[in-house]
Amino acid sequence: MWDLRRAAQAVGAELIRPRAPLRASGASCHSREVRPGDVFVALVGRRHDGHDFLAEAFSQGAVGALVARDPGVGHNLLLVDDVRRALWELASWRREQLPIPFVGVAGSYGKTTAKELLGAALGVRYRVFRARASYNTEVGVPLEILSVPQDAEVAVLELGEEAPGDIARLTQLVQPWAGLITGVGEAHLASLGDREGVADVLWELAQALPEEGVLALNWDAPELRARAASCCGVCLRFGSAPPAEFFPHGVAGDLPEGVRFRAATPRGEVEVELSLLGEHVATLACGALALAWGLGVPEAAAAPALKWVQPLPHRLQLLPAPFGWILDDSYNANPLSVRAALRTLMSLRLPVQRRVALLGDMLDLGPQEEKFHREMVQEASWQGVDALFAFGPRMCRAFSAWEGEGAAEPEDLSALLGELRREVARVPTLLLVKGSRGMALERAVEALLEPQGSG
C-alpha cells in the first residue's frame, strides 16, 4: 500500500479534503472497475471525462482520486495540472519503492497468454503479481504498477507496442530485470513498416535489461535470432524445435480440453497439460518454463502449474452454442494469429459436421493490407473451411476470391449474422469468430449464443 500524502508530495499535487484512510492499494481509470482501496484516475478522453464519474468511483470503494479539477465530489483528491502526466510520475515514484524484480512480456502475439502462463509458473515459488487483462499501454502499465501489493516478490507486466520507442518508454518506467518476447508477426505495420520494424521495437525490451538480467527469446523468429548477440542479459532460447533449449514435441492440439505435449529442457523432458487451445500455445508455454527456470523455478515444479491457466475471454475460448460450438477468438487479429486460429478450428476433435469461419478486418497492417486479407481467405480455403463469412470492407474485398459457401458484408453485422444463422442451423457446427479489436466481433459472439427466436 502507499500513502496518499506522500504521493501528493511526489507529484506536486494539492491534497483536497483529506480523510482517513489515507493509504491506497491500487488504481483504476474505469469507475465501474474500481476496487476498494483504489485511487480513481480521472482521465479525459474523446468521449468521456473521468471527473464526471467520481461519485460512482467513490461508491465502488475508491479512497481517493487523481484529478485536474475539483468537481466537489469525494475526498483525498490529488489535484494536478495534467492527470496523464501525473499518473506516470506517480507510478515512477511507486516503482522506486518496490525492490522486487519486474518482468516484461512483449511480442506481436500471445502476450497476455504468455503473461498468465509465466505468472502461474513463477507462482510455484514466489508471490507473483501479474497485470490484469491487457493493461499494456502508457495508461495501463502505470495503473498496474500502482496496484502491485507490498508483499509481492515478482511483478509480471505486459508491454504493448504500436510505434517505435513505445516499449523503450515503458521500460524506463518498469525497469525490468527479466523479459519474454513471444515472437514477431505482421502487427502494427502501418507505423512499424515491416517485420524488421516490429522486431526493432520488441528488441527495446532486451536492450532495457541489466547485464545480470534474463531474457526468454522465441528462437523461431529469424529477426530475433539476428539480434540475440546484442542481448544485455542471459538469453534463454525457446521455440518449436531445436536448436531452442526449451521446445515442445509430441504436441496433441486437437483435444477440446486443451493442448498436451512434452517440453524439452536443458535438464530433460517434462509432461505439460494446458487448459488452452491452439498448438502455438505449446511454444508460449515453453517460453514461460524457460524464463521461470531462469528465475529459479525448476521446470518439473513449474510445468504442473500451467494447467490451471484458463482461456482468457475472446482468446480461443470454446463456448457451447445452440448450433454446436463457437471458437471465440474475437479479441484481436493479425495474419499470424488468424492462421493459428484457422488451424485450431479445423483440428479440434468435436462432434460437428461443418466448420465455419466469421473473419473480420485485420486493422493497422499498412500498405499491404489487401495482400494480407487475400492470404487469409486463401488460408481458409486451403485449410478446408466449409463456409466463410467476411465482415468489414477489407475482408469483403478479399472475399471475392472465395469460391465456397458464405457471404460478405462491409458494415451491417446484423444482416451478415442473419445469413450466418441460417448456415449454422443446418447441422452441428463449430464456428470461429476472429477479427481485430476495432471490429468488436464479440458482438457477434454474444448474439449467436442466444437461442434462435429469443429476445
Instruction: Return mean pLDDT, the chain.
Output: 94
Give the number of C-alpha atoms closer than 13 A to the C-alpha of residue 336, restricted to the C-beta side.
16
Could you tell me if residue 200 is inside a domain?
A: yes
- Do 238 and 134 lie in a common domain? yes
Residue range 162-171: average pLDDT? 90
- Do 19 and 129 lie in a common domain? no
Quickly list DSSP for 304-341.
HHGGGPPPPTTSSEEEEETTEEEEEETT---HHHHHHH
The count of structural domains within the chain is 3
- Do 71 and 105 lie in a common domain? no
* pLDDT score at 185: 77
CATH number of the domain bearing residue 414: 3.90.190.20
Q: Kindly report, residue by residue over 174-205, the tens digit of the pLDDT.
A: 999 999 999 987 767 676 778 888 889 999 99
- Do 143 and 220 lie in a common domain? yes
In percent, the amount of the chain with pLDDT more than 90 equals 88
Could you tell me if residue 92 is inside a domain?
A: no
CATH number of the domain bearing residue 184: 3.40.1190.10
- Do 388 and 443 lie in a common domain? yes
- Do 157 and 190 lie in a common domain? yes
- Do 102 and 221 lie in a common domain? yes
Give the end of a domain, one of 308, 332, 360: 308
**How much is the pTM?**
0.93
CATH number of the domain bearing residue 16: 3.40.1390.10
Phi, psi at residue 85, to the nearest 5°?
-65, -40
Residue 126 has pLDDT above 80, yes or no: yes
Report helix, strand or coil for 99: coil
Residue range 338-343: average pLDDT? 96
* pLDDT score at 453: 55
Could you tell me if residue 204 is inside a domain?
A: yes
Could you tell me if residue 455 is inside a domain?
A: no
- What pLDDT band is residue 135 in, cutting at 50, 70 and 90? confident
Which structural domain, as residue segments, surrounds residue 161?
A: 98-308
* pLDDT score at 197: 86
- Do 302 and 332 lie in a common domain? no
- Do 197 and 299 lie in a common domain? yes
The C-alpha cell of 241 is what? 524445435
- Do 237 and 138 lie in a common domain? yes
User: Which has the minimum average pLDDT: 44-48, 118-122, 154-158, 217-221?
Assistant: 44-48
Give the end of a domain, one of 58, 82, 106: 82
Quickly list DSSP for 161-213.
-SSTTHHHHHHHHH--SEEEE----S-SHHHH-SHHHHHHHHHHHHHHS-TT-
Give the end of a domain, one of 252, 275, 308: 308
Question: Higher pLDDT residue, 143 or 453?
Answer: 143
| Largest separation between any pair of C-alpha atoms in the chain | 68
